[in-house]
């Protein structure tokens, strides 16, 4: 018998005024996988993530994360579940008036207020190192970092509470190809080392080919397909074919094939 999914979404409906974003959306995320989530602009990828983590209250539907129902929970109940995941928002969402180390310490303060500065500093330094940042990044402010370093700082904060589940919203957006590839390698290494499950929103075809176990495609207000890229390519859905079989999709597939064969 297969293990129960770590995330289950059933019958999800989200709307903003007259705009219907999701209608009957369903999705399972398996424990231990990196699931890429793709879709055209306006299909509600980030809205789906926000619904799962409790920042968006859906009109209808059931969402279960880590065995717990997330719809209609009190703030205190939800807080106990949220400590088991980490989130990297698209632009890092770092507090500009705090140093990198202080940003990493924010969630630790929230859940473990009794911890004293020496231990907090030690934990923050460890998470900063795990994210691939140099040790001297800790006392710096976000404005003093490059875009890629800010993303790694956001990742260090997402890892602060040793999560089982990691949510990443466009983590390689704005990075040059070398920086994006390095970030992909870091995520894959952390996933394997820490036994993470990763929910990854991305437009980066190289990322999808390189590190994702499966890809979920949002279109027509639903998840229209979930599978490996070869499985998706066997489908006739027009957006899937245009996305994965277009010029950029073919180039990404070629790059991945060359890397595997090298």
Per the DSSP assignment, residues forming a β-bridge with 262 are none
pLDDT score at 1: 38
Q: Is residue 125 part of a domain?
A: yes
Going from the first residue of the chain to its last (262 residues), give the mean pLDDT of each consecutive group of 10, the final group possibly shorter.
85 95 97 96 94 93 93 81 91 88 94 90 95 93 92 96 96 92 96 97 94 97 96 93 82 69 59
Nearest CA to 151 out of 126, 170, 123, 125 is that of 170
pLDDT score at 257: 67
161 DSSP assignment: T
Q: Whole domain around residue 140: which residue ranges?
A: 92-159
Q: Is residue 13 part of a domain?
A: no
In this structure, the strands spanning 165-169 and 85-88 are parallel
Q: Is residue 188 part of a domain?
A: no
Global pTM? 0.92
Q: Is residue 49 part of a domain?
A: no
pLDDT score at 259: 67
In total, how many domains does the chain have?
A: 1
Is the torsion defined by CA of 100, 169, 29, 72 positive or negative? positive
Nearest CA to 85 out of 70, 74, 73, 100 is that of 70
Q: Is residue 150 part of a domain?
A: yes
- One DSSP character per residue, 23-76 reads EEEEEEE-TT-EEEEEE-TTS-HHHHHHHHHTSS--SEEEEEETTEE-TT--HH
74/239 Cα distance (integer angstroms): 39
Q: Is residue 201 part of a domain?
A: no
Q: At what angle do helices 247-261 and 238-245 cross, to 10 degrees?
A: 50
Sheet harboring 7-16: ordered strands across? Answer: 19-29, 7-16, 60-65, 68-69
Q: How far is CA 28 from CA 6, 35, 76, 241, in A?
A: 8, 10, 25, 23
213/198 Cα distance (integer angstroms): 10
pLDDT score at 59: 95
CB 214 within 8 A of CB 235: no
SS3 at position 249: helix
Q: Is residue 104 part of a domain?
A: yes
Q: Is residue 111 part of a domain?
A: yes
């Amino acid at each position: 018998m297969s293990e129960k999914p770590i995330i289950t979404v059933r019958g999800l409906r989200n709307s903003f005024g007259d705009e219907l974003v999701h209608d009957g959306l369903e999705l399972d995320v398996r424990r231990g996988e990196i699931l890429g989530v793709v879709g055209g602009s306006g299909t509600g990828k980030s809205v789906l993530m926000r619904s799962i983590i409790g920042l968006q209250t859906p009109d209808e539907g059931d969402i279960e994360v880590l065995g717990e129902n997330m719809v209609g929970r009190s703030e205190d109940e939800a807080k106990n579940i949220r400590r088991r995941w980490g989130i990297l928002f698209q632009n890092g969402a770092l507090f500009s008036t705090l140093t990198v180390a202080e940003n990493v310490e924010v969630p630790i303060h929230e859940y473990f207020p009794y911890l004293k500065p020496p231990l907090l500093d030690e934990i923050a330094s460890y998470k900063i190192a795990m994210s691939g940042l140099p040790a001297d990044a800790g006392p710096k402010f976000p404005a003093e970092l490059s875009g890629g370093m800010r993303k790694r700082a956001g990742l260090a904060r997402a890892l602060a509470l040793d999560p089982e589940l990691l949510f990443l919203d466009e983590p390689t957006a704005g990075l040059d190809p070398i920086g994006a590839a390095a970030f992909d390698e870091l995520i894959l290494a952390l996933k394997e080392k820490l036994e993470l499950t990763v929910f990854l929103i991305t437009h980066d075809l190289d990322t999808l080919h390189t590190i994702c176990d499966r890809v979920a495609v949002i279109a027509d207000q639903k998840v229209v397909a979930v599978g490996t890229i070869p499985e998706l390519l066997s489908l006739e859905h027009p957006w899937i074919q245009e996305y994965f079989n277009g010029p950029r999709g073919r180039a990404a597939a070629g790059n991945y094939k060359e890397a595997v064969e090298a």
